[in-house]
Amino acid sequence: MENVKFLWASDEINKRPDVYWLMVMDIARKFPLARIKKCATIMGRKEEDDLGNFISYIYEIYIYL
């Protein structure tokens, strides 16, 4: 595990909050609600969870690619 670096999502978001909020709003506008929920459930989240959390999870995929 010496070549693995663990990152906190909150640290990455706080480094560039302007980029974070632009991307979150862009995801919310462009993706249909059904797709957002599907992506979140694929990631192991419950469909009953908060919609804002779903969008944040999708954003995390983009920042770590």
Structure confidence at residue 64 as a pLDDT band (50, 70, 90): low
Domain enclosing residue 43, as ranges: 15-63
- Per the domain annotation, does 8 fall within a domain? no
pTM exceeding the 0.75 threshold for the entire prediction: no
In one-letter notation, the amino acid at residue 21 is: W
Whether pLDDT at 65 is above 70 = no
Q: How many domains does the chain have?
A: 1
- Per the domain annotation, does 50 fall within a domain? yes
pLDDT tens across 11-56, in order?
Answer: 888 998 898 888 888 888 988 888 877 777 777 777 677 777 777 7
- Per the domain annotation, does 2 fall within a domain? no
Euclidean distance between CA atoms 55 and 59, whole angstroms: 6
End-to-end CA distance of the chain: 20
- Per the domain annotation, does 57 fall within a domain? yes
